[in-house]
A and B are shown apart, each in its own frame.
Chain A
Amino acid sequence: MIHSLFLINCSGDIFLEKHWKSVVSQSVCDYFFEAQEKAADVENVPPVISTPHHYLISIYRDKLFFVSVIQTEVPPLFVIEFLHRVADTFQDYFGECSEAAIKDNVVIVYELLEEMLDNGFPLATESNILKELIKPPTILRSVVNSITGSSNVGDTLPTGQLSNIPWRRAGVKYTNNEAYFDVVEEIDAIIDKSGSTVFAEIQGVIDACIKLSGMPDLSLSFMNPRLLDDVSFHPCIRFKRWESERVLSFIPPDGNFRLISYRVSSQNLVAIPVYVKHNISFKENSSCGRFDITIGPKQNMGKTIEGITVTVHMPKVVLNMNLTPTQGSYTFDPVTKVLTWDVGKITPQKLPSLKGLVNLQSGAPKPEENPSLNIQFKIQQLAISGLKVNRLDMYGEKYKPFKGVKYVTKAGKFQVRT
């Protein structure tokens, strides 16, 4: 399946290569570079490239390209999904998936890749198993290792590999047993010029952080499970229980993981928590325009909206912007033409606004269309869909765990057309 993997940074250096079958020359990446050049934008590099002898399937993550070389027919999503899993694992191990981190830990990276694929077919991709095979680097451990000569590599087969629950390692022990769930909902929306909603949808995930000893068997129930329209599960969840009782029943992996992700049924009207008043105009035949936006709260259910950021991709003819924010700070990058306004919290008494002039390239025609505004925000202690966790029960173990649920609502792909 996967023949080789090349990691390439933004400036086009191949800084890591790994081959699972016979060696494929780096020159195969030239086809990739060619495609990259053609695409102009990194986002537009086609994920699947066909070359005379190979196929290249690539992903772009954290300013890095993961380019895999394929020789025969394979479902492309298989490779893409796997590459993302590799990137996730790096993230998990080194805290970030960056060129520096990978170069710093090149040996561990290599050991990981060796375990994750055998002959190009995924072998162990569960974080719990990998961590037993190869321990993540910590300062303490590297000191200990250099003294005792012991290594980061485990010498027994992780029990998870063999059991029916490969995601959980055996012999977990904690003094404080805790189980935390974060219900995170994101609003995807497109708001048109007049402020009416073109499209809105709520996507949610439940992330869990479980530190429980032994083999706990958990079941999580909701007050209103009917809200969940389409759900995707971590492999640990028993599908049958969910189908029949709408209860999430599972033996959790150890540590952080994503329990479910869901979509709230489209019948429910989505409450849009913010509104934006905007007035952006470019004058014909003059080199300046006006820019004026104001953000206000709407249907926020009594919670404060915080962490607001507005990002605007200005038209290419914009040279510079002279703006005054009533709140927060703004930056404009004249190269990428991206305006970022970091607003912060909304206080209903005094709505934040950003006003000023836009300098345009003289002589150029005025932009056809006003840029759309991408808005980020966060509302703590609220699941916008109204989803509520009812209770968490634990079976199989004697101790009493500490349980907690946190709700957050965020803006997902929230776009206001102007």
Chain B
Amino acid sequence: MSSNSFAYNEQSAGGEATELGQEATSTISPSGAFGLFSSDLKKNEDLKQMLESNKDSAKLDAMKRIVGMIAKGKNASELFPAVVKNVASKNIEIKKLVYVYLVRYAEEQQDLALLSISTFQRALKDPNQLIRASALRVLSSIRVPIIVPIMMLAIKEASADLSPYVRKNAAHAIQKLYSLDPDQKEMLIEVIEKLLKDKSTLVAGSVVMAFEEVCPDRIDLIHKNYRKLCNLLVDVEEWGQVVIIHMLTRYARTQFVSPWKEGDGLEDNEKNFYESDDEQKEKADKRKAYAMDPDHRLLIRNTKPLLQSRNAAVVMAVAQLYWHIAPKSETGVISKSLVRLLRSNREVQYIVLQNIATMSIQRKGMFEPYLKSFYVRSTDPTMIKTLKLEILTNLANEANISTLLREFQTYVKSQDKQFAAATIQTIGRCATNISEVTDTCLNGLVCLLSNRDEIVVAESVVVIKKLLQMQPAQHGEIIKHMAKLLDSITVPVARASILWLIGENCERVPKIAPDVLRKTAKSFTSEDDLVKLQILNLGAKLYLTNSKQQTKLLTQYILNLGKYDQNYDIRDRTRFIRQLIVPNEKSGALSKYAKKIFLAQKPAPLLESPFKDRDHFQLGTLSHTLNTKATGYLELSNWPEVAPDPSVRNVEVIELAKEWTPAGKAKKENSVKKFYSESEEEEDSSDSSSDSESGSGSESGELGESGEERDSSEDSSEDSSSGQDSESESESGVQSKRAAKKNSKPKGKSGCEDGEKENEKSKTSESSNAESSSIEESSSDSESESDSESEAESRRVAKEKEKKTKQDRNPLTKDVSLLDLDDFNPVSTPVALPTPVLSPSLTADLEGLNLSTSSSVISVSTPVFVPMKSHVLLHRMSGKGLAASDKMVSVQITLNNTTDQKIENIHIGEKKLPMGMQMHVFNPVDSLEPEGSITVSMGIDFCDSTQTASFQLCTKDDCFSVSIQPPVGELLLPVAMSEKDFKKEQGMLTGMNETSAIIVAAPQNFTPSVILQKVVNVANVGAVPSGQDNIQRFAAKTVHSGSLMLVTVELKEGSTAQLIINTEKTVIGSVLLRELKPVLSQG
């Protein structure tokens, strides 16, 4: 046992000091003696000394004591500097204890905490995975906002670590970072998305936890991982299982149609509630043809073994999953397991019983075989007893009620009076629920009235009151008996109940009631307020029904007493009653109805279970236990009327390129995917019969849909049912639509042939069609474009009767990126876009010598079209004339002679270039004929700045100084990279290196193709294939330094988008942002 272990035996004030005395190995044992007298401050002084000693053992002892202080909740923050020094200690135990300390106090000492960061950054690269993981763990636990970018970077790196243990820790770190800085959400979601794809069971639970915490609404991230999660579930560690099962329950409720048949919905009223009759009928038809989605089945099947888990939380999680998503006929299996949990400790029992109570209200049958397991033992805690009673009540029926009543008799006698009272209420509820035993129960309760215990009697009275109210006619005897009891009972509620009961039935017991009133009038002043009110009521009722003078006088007497009561409620009531019943000249119209008011038929109270309304919370949750919505509770959605497209869960084998296929095109993608992934699908899904035909079938189905699209776009509403009125053109469309339907049947959609569904389908396909076509437009004519582009330009040039400077791109680097493309992108859609004339950055209007700049962009192309491409390039190159070094931006200058004289010796004169800029001048032009034009090229290295390059353009006679300011977009060279690389690079360019802006524009401007075009118009960037429909990425590097420039356009809700630029060259980044913003937002 370690030395300090002795120390903590002593809790006296001197404990710390004694402890020091025992530390024989400690270097400063003398100071321990000091400790006896010294203050806290002094004591910490010696801890500091120990921490600074060069012996590990002393340091370790000091750290152990400090941890002891932390554990007790004492403040040890002043030791921070001394402790942090040891963060790089070689001794692993010291290190760990320092970590403990650091995590505890970093928030308070942010500046000092930063000292330790570099150690963690180093440790993140350690070859030992345990060290990497723990470094990440501690780093992410330090709640210091300044290090958010470092954390982000660390998380991104760790999420790609080879060790699943490190990746697991990365998943944990996501949640920590999110709670520290919610602004990082978007980037964190990317990491989550990546980790969700992880195949390791170690990671699965943690990343789903992160998902639940950060973006529980992004259900779309789950689609592709759904089957994997289902299949891994059994092997995931138990805590992860709980989280995953809860998440999958929610998922299933949004993605599958209800497996609950109308027939067993008797107890299940939630459904009937929102639908009209004819709808219901329609539904019934649908239900007949219900077939469960194989994915739905997969989840139910794969969770079943987990009912056997030793972990109560897992069992409960599976139970709630079955409850919420399994067909009602299959829910039965969970009851056995839940009952097993009742053997566990009291806390588990408590929660499980609560859940069983909720379930047993809706489906009695499930737990009836286990009735006896809910019998109460005298040693159970009261809260368990009452819950068991609750369940017993819910389970009571004609068959078992006699056994139960016998059992209840034992409970009523229990020493635990609270429990006995609860039992009486239970008996009352059983009596109302099961009419056969009402009389028996009533008699039993009447017997209890002679019980010696007051609480029992009082409770009985209250319950009897409620029971009698339901069938008041034949119970005169009981009322008489209770009237007699009034003398002995002192509990106010009970007395009040008896008085109320007598008042209510005063016409049935005409002799007794006035007598009771007489007695209570005597004791009025000493009664409880509750009783007083009932005495007043009784008096009023008698006044109205009993015509004897005596009674009236008594009532008057009571009213007089009440008038001067201390409680204003009673005074008010007195006044009210007097006005109502005692006739006088002032009494209004109401007094005529006094009898009706007081002796109205009152509805019998409903004795309901307190668990009745709990079922709208997901079972097994905190909210269910508390019966209020807890923070962060995620609502379980209702079943969708129509299942969303099940094919989203199909997993593709080959990563098909969809670089330019943006949002809305999912349909089209899927058809391709399904086509390829057929074999895998068969493996995956159990019901291969339903899936296997998908291969060719789906193909034709998709074709059919596209056919449908065509005509649906023409008359979208009419084509829904049969297409009788459609033209011959759509004939084929209809046919293939049938094929599509046929195909979709085994997928569980069969019942959906009604119009609604159809409409929806056509709507989606319509939109997708529209979008895909626009994309095709943009991509298909790429070949011709590069040619036509130059043509167009030359035409433009010709039209202008002025000299023009044309700026163009340097193609050399292009070549290189082309080769790269070959490696990275197996397929990519070719795109080439013309750029219109950029607004000239500078126009010098001098004696007919006119300079204007225009730029064009070299198309990004793909290996598929390599031959074609090279041609373009060559063409370009040849057009270029002068080749400049690859750091230069080439500038083409067209010199037009608009005068009628020959201009001679045109050359570049004095150059005024800022630091670092270089210029490659063109060869002097000897002479330029009138009306003639010549194009020359020059290269300028702008040094990645937006400063202007000024130089003099000289002719034989004159010198004109001109200057060129490069548009930012031209300082870039497009690069090709994969999405993964992009994200990696982006992760490294956060914080200072990131600028972003929100753009608002009409939605039609946010179609991917439009964005693409606009962005490429402004800047010379290359598009990055994107896996997400709503995010588009572009990459480029600066011409001079080759720094990366990453542009992300992310479409948001509504008509906004976020534009993010990550680059080291922050100036260029911000200028580019400024330029892109108006372009993207304008119509």
Contact = CB atoms under 8 A, between A and B. Distances in A.
The listed residue with most A CB atoms (<10 A of its CB), out of B64, B107, B131, B345, is: B345
B71 A16 contact: yes
A80 B346 CA distance: 10
A161 interface: yes
B165 A190 contact: no
A232 B315 CA distance: 10
Nearest to A105: B5
The listed residue with most A CB atoms (<10 A of its CB), out of B339, B381, B623, is: B381
Interface stretch (A175-183, A361-369, A383-391): A361-369
A223 to B, nearest CB: 21
Nearest to A192: B410
Interface string B53-81: 00011001000100110111100000000
A75 B313 contact: yes
A199 interface: yes
A284 to B, nearest CB: 10
B731 to A, nearest CB: 53
A275 interface: no
A329 interface: no
A305 to B, nearest CB: 21
B742 interface: no
B728 interface: no
A266 B373 CA distance: 11
A207 interface: no
Interface stretch (A119-127, A211-219, A400-408): A119-127
B449 to A, nearest CB: 14
Contacts of B915: none
A59 B622 contact: no
B483 to A, nearest CB: 24
B163 interface: yes
A239 B206 contact: no
A82 interface: yes
B897 interface: no
Contacts of A60: 346-347
Interface stretch (B41-49, B569-577, B590-598, B628-636): B628-636
B410 A261 contact: no
B310 A235 contact: yes
- Category for how many chain A residues contact B: 35 or more
Given A55-B626, A75-B313, A417-B410, A151 B206 contact: no
A253 B385 CA distance: 38
Interface string A64-107: 00000011111111101110100000000000000010011111
B269 to A, nearest CB: 26
Given A72-B631, A161-B165, A367-B415, A107 B64 contact: yes
A307 interface: no
A335 interface: no
A106 B347 contact: no
B372 A198 contact: yes
Contacts of B206: 121
A330 B197 CA distance: 65
Interface string A141-161: 010011001011111110001
A230 B334 CA distance: 11
Interface in A159-179: 161-162, 164, 166
Contacts, number: 274
The listed residue with most B CB atoms (<10 A of its CB), out of A107, A145, A166, A235, is: A107
B71 A18 contact: yes
Nearest to A14: B73
A100 B73 CA distance: 17
Interface stretch (B254-262, B348-356, B488-496, B790-798): B348-356
B383 interface: yes
A63 interface: no
A58 B313 CA distance: 15
A118 interface: yes
A162 B163 contact: yes
Contacts of A71: 631-632
A379 B97 CA distance: 48
A233 B176 CA distance: 34
B308 A231 contact: yes
B96 interface: yes
B953 to A, nearest CB: 66
B523 interface: no
Nearest to A415: B377
Nearest to B68: A106
Contacts of A107: 2, 4, 64, 67-68, 97
A210 interface: no
Contacts of A203: 343
7 contacts: A46-B350, A80-B351, A103-B9, A105-B1, A142-B5, A199-B375, A372-B378
Closest 6 CB pairs of A and B: A72-B632, A151-B93, A369-B413, A43-B381, A157-B130, A122-B239
